[in-house]
Amino acid sequence: MKNVPLIDVIIPAYNEEESVALVLQDIPSDWVREVIVCDNASSDRTADVALKERATVVSQPQKGYGSACLKGMEYVAKKGVPPDIIVFLDADYSDHPEELPKLIQPIVDQDYDLVIGSRALGDMEEGAMMPQQIFGNWLATNLIKLFYRYHFTDLGPFRAIKYQKLLDLGMNDPNFGWTVEMQVKAAKMKFRCTEVAVKYRRRVGISKVSGTVRGTILAGHKILWTIFKLL
């Protein structure tokens, strides 16, 4: 890994016009080459707001968290010079984008392949995660530990990964299973993984997943199905 790596940021976004500017403004610009906002069939002004903040915007009409991330990867793959590291984070301002260097340093300094920003280890605002999310995280990470002998504490969306390692994973989940697919495949392929504590706050607006009973059930089912599918 070079001392000064090329870093691209991929942000999946669905109807996040109220928060996406805050996210983009807090990303340390001197650390990243390009920020790609993947507009996931938003019906609001998410794309316009992101463009105003000088982000690159790519459109993904096929709804799904993973679909948006894959569209961002598709864009990055077409660049003349590939990045060394890809950072993923959400557009709802629940993560603290200014903590990006914390996720990069273990890759640069200790040659880790994948770094997860763990909300479980960090300072989490009361109410930032619903009880069902906390339980789902606990269950999923313990299943990964049981089946794959990798100790994670979170499936948090804020993460950094070496670009070539990301390609090696062959990511394909179009929906809620994206984060757990990455961690399970990384464990199966014996990647060097670690976690860093990150802060987490109440998101701006209503969650498209945990904000509804149906969304929570679907996400939980998808995560568990992904873990067992990859056994």
* In the chain, domain spans: 7-229
Flag the least confident range among 7-16, 41-50, 72-81, 128-137.
Answer: 128-137
Round the average pLDDT of the chain to a whole number and report it: 94
Mode of pairing for the β-strands spanning 193-197 and 114-118: parallel
Whether residue 208 is predicted with pLDDT greater than 70 in this model: the reply is: no
Please give the backbone phi and psi of residue 83, each rounded to the nearest 5 degrees, phi first. Answer: -75, 165
pLDDT band at 212 (very low <50, low <70, confident <90, very high): low
- The answer, as to whether pTM is greater than 0.85, is yes
Average pLDDT (149-159) is 97
pLDDT of residue 213: 62
Edge to edge, what strands does the sheet with 85-88 contain? 56-59, 34-39, 7-13, 85-88, 159-162, 114-118, 193-197
Mind listing the pLDDT tens digit for each residue in 68-78?
999 999 999 99
pLDDT of residue 206: 72
Q: How far apart are CA 114 and CA 134, in angstroms?
A: 22
Contact 28, 101 (CB under 8 A): yes
The CATH number of domain 7-229, selected from 3.40.50.2300, 2.60.40.10, 1.20.1560.10, 3.90.550.10: 3.90.550.10
Q: How far apart are CA 104 and CA 106, in angstroms?
A: 6
Q: How far apart are CA 111 and CA 164, in angstroms?
A: 13
Mind listing the pLDDT tens digit for each residue in 95-106?
999 999 999 999
pLDDT band at 189 (very low <50, low <70, confident <90, very high): very high
Average pLDDT (183-205) is 96
